[in-house]
Amino acid sequence: MKTHKDLLLWQKSIDFVTEIYITTQHFPKDEQYGIAGQLRRAAVSIPSNIAEGAARNSDKEFIRFLSKARGSASEIETLLLISKN
């Protein structure tokens, strides 16, 4: 039986979390609990939502959790643009 760990999307999202953690280590110390923290929480929510959705009993629920993961990805995009500016 396959699990979320077999999903390429989940595997790549775990790698993405690692990259976000590495990137935010270089943020100014005064941002560690601001944007850096938000970035980390949003990044962690992506594989978490994929895993939770995959564990549900219906495709409809899985799609709902994938939508949440996509929302977190958009949040990260916005936070990275703010950080860059």
The per-residue pLDDT for 45 is: 98
pTM of the model: 0.92
What average pLDDT does the chain have?
A: 94
DSSP string, 3-62: -GGG-HHHHHHHHHHHHHHHHHTTS-GGGTTTHHHHHHHHHHHHHHHHHHHHTSSSHHHH
State whether CATH 1.20.1440.60 applies to domain 4-84: yes
Domain segments of the chain: what residues? 4-84
The per-residue pLDDT for 1 is: 64
Tens digit of pLDDT at every position of the chain (85 positions): 689 999 999 999 999 999 999 999 999 888 878 999 999 999 999 999 999 999 998 999 999 999 999 999 999 999 999 998 8
